[in-house]
Each structure stands twice: as structure tokens, then as C-alpha cells.
Amino acid sequence: PIGSLKDKVVWITGASSGIGEHLAYALAGAGCKLILSARRGQLLERVKAECLQKNASLKSSDIEVLVLDVCDTDSHEPAFRSIISKFGKLDILVNNAGRSQRARWEDIELSVDKEMFHLNVFSQVALSRLVAKYFLQMGAGHFVITSSLAGIAPVPFSGTYSGSKFALNGYFYSFAAEKIDNRIPVTIVCPGSIQTDFLAEAYTNKSGEKYGEHTNENSKNKVSAQRCGTLMGIAIANQLSEVWIAKPVVLQF
Ligand code: NDP
């Protein structure tokens, strides 16, 4: 079914590693034209080269590397304009960039809350509002959000992260409800534990204290980033409104 996405122009934020990277491979395989954005340009170039290898019918000009700190909301409009002038259209925006940090609820500083909400929520909302105006004008478009199961159920020691993903879901369910007649689907993807760098970083707080273990032992409960990217591609092609990607896990306290 993912072949139906051929020639779609898709902008993926956070495409330099993990889930965004593997979604890029799945979409390149389906013949999408891609805008790969994140801060680490060298990694994006590597992802681009791999995408071109996955699909020999794609040309180098079909994949754009866009170095962008999504938190810098002033850079959204020039970035969006450059995409339209290069590709002539944008079909799908994947809001995927994000990070987490684990800490005890009472220890979290407000500055950490603000920083994480700025990345995980406000930057995605700002970018999507800009793109929403374009989608509404075109009468077509598709938002994809990499949210989290932590945006549906609480996860211990992830208060800020969980709060940010609940908020993200609220924003986009509300967009979907408001624009139900405008043919702009919203796909909210809620992964559980996926094998990426994200968890290793998240499990150590600023003072080096570890919350839980990021070990091979519990990695059997994680889904590979490749599988997550492939499943996301299928969810996008089918315009599912919500998808959960997880293995059953047992939480121990
Ligand atoms: P990674 O750390 O591998 O990917 C995070 C991506 O976000 C990177 O490409 C990073 O690129 C990008 N990013 C971070 N900050 C910024 C920024 N300021 N501007 C632009 N890009 C940024 O982790 P994942 O692939 O796991 O995470 C991707 C998404 O998946 C996140 O939204 C995360 O919340 C979500 N998720 C992950 C789960 C997991 O278990 N791994 C579970 C549920 C949800 P760069 O550093 O180059 O800017």
C-alpha cells in the first residue's frame, strides 16, 4: 500500500537518526521526494545517500538536506518557501523531532519543562500552523506527528516528556476535529520503546544519575527503528488517524 505515496513530497523533521531516519528509508523506497531536516547536516547527508541507494529511480535532486533547528521558529518560513520553490508543493509534513529526559517529578526545573515543551510542542505547532495555511489553501495535505505512548498514558520519571506529548496530541486532535471537512488528515503515531539513541540520552539526567536501565536485557521489549519506520510508512499511506507501535512490556517498580 505504501507505493501509493510515490512522488509525494514529504518533509521529515528529525530525519538525522532513529525513527525519522528509518521513516525516510521507507518513504524513499516508496518513491517519495524528501526534505530531510535536523541540526546535524553530516548525518542528514548520510541518510540522503542511503535513501538514494534504496531506490535507484530517485535522483539526488529528489532529496533535499535542510539543516534546521526546529526550535528556531523564525527559520520556518524561509525553509518552507525554499521547499515550495524547489519542489513546487508539499504533500506531507512529519513532525518527528523531539527529545526526552528522565527525572523525578519534583526535581524537574521549570527551565527544563520550557525547553522540552519548546522543542516537543511549540516548535511543531508553529511549523504546522504555517503549513496548515498552505494545506488549507491547496485543499489537500497531511500532518503526521511522532507522539508517544507517553502521550496517552503516564510513564514514571518522564513527567515533562509525557506532559509534552499529551499536549501535542491535544493540539493535533483538536486540529483534526476542527478541520474534519477539509480533507487534511492527521496521523498521530504513538510509539512505545523503540531502539534509538533517544532512550540512552533520556535515561541519564543532568547530574549523571540513572533512572532505570537502558540495557540489552530490556532491549528485547523494544521495537527496532527500522520496523517503526516501516510501520509508520504504512500508517501514512493508509492515512490512519492514530497508530500505536509497541511490543507488550512489563514495567517493574
Ligand atoms: P533520536 O534521538 O534518534 O532522534 C531525534 C531526532 O530529533 C534527531 O534527528 C534530532 O536531530 C532531532 N532533533 C532534536 N532536537 C532538534 C532540534 N532542536 N531541531 C531539529 N531537530 C532536532 O530519537 P528517536 O528517533 O527515538 O526520536 C524521534 C521521535 O520519536 C521523538 O519525537 C521522540 O519523542 C519520539 N519517540 C521515541 C520513542 C523511542 O522509544 N525512541 C518512543 C516514543 C516516541 P539533530 O540532533 O540532528 O537535530
Q: Which of 73-82, 83-92, 98-107 has the lowest mean pLDDT?
A: 98-107
Closest-lying ligand 1 atom to the alpha carbon of residue 161: 34
**Residues 178-211 pLDDT 10s:** 988 888 999 999 999 999 988 766 666 556 666 6
CA of 173 from ligand 1 middle (Å) equals 21
**Residues 34-59 pLDDT 10s:** 999 999 999 999 999 999 999 999 99
pLDDT at 240: 96
- When computed from its CA atoms, the radius of gyration of the chain, rounded to whole angstroms, is 18
Three-class SS of residue 94? strand
Burial of 136 (0-12, 13-18, 19+ CB in 10 A): middle
Cell of 184: 487534511
Tell me which residue has cell 538514494: 52
Closest-lying ligand 1 atom to the alpha carbon of residue 15: 9
Mean predicted confidence (pLDDT) in 228-246: 96
CA of 177 from ligand 1 middle (Å) equals 27
Determine phi and psi for 118, rounding to 5 degrees.
-65, -45
CA dist., res. 157 & res. 167, Å (int): 17
Q: Which residues line ligand 1 (CB under 6 A)?
A: 13-20, 38-40, 43, 69-71, 96-100, 119, 146, 148, 191, 193-194, 196-199
Which contacts of 195-201 are long-range, i.e. CB under 8 A and separated by 24 or more positions?
195/219, 195/222, 195/223, 195/224, 195/225, 196/17, 196/18, 196/19, 196/225, 197/17, 197/18, 198/18, 198/98, 198/99, 198/100, 199/100, 201/99, 201/100, 201/101
Return the higher-pLDDT residue of 212 and 130.
130
Return the higher-pLDDT residue of 249 and 64.
64
**Residues 142-187 pLDDT 10s:** 999 999 999 999 888 999 999 999 999 999 999 999 988 888 999 9
Cβ contact 132:184 at 8 Å: yes
Angle at CA of residue 184, ends 178 and 190, nearest 5°: 85
pLDDT at 217: 45
Mutate to test the pocket of ligand 1, among 65, 99, 155 (most ligand atoms within 8 A of CB): 99
Cell of 158: 518522564
Burial of 143 (0-12, 13-18, 19+ CB in 10 A): buried
Mean pLDDT for all residues in the chain:
92
- pTM for the full model? 0.95
The residues carrying an active-site annotation are 161
Cβ neighbours, 10 Å, residue 45: 14
CA dist., res. 86 & res. 215, Å (int): 44
Q: How far is CA 224 from CA 191, 240, 246, in A?
A: 11, 21, 10
CA dist., res. 126 & res. 15, Å (int): 18
Determine phi and psi for 137, rounding to 5 degrees.
-65, -40
CA of 192 from ligand 1 middle (Å) equals 14
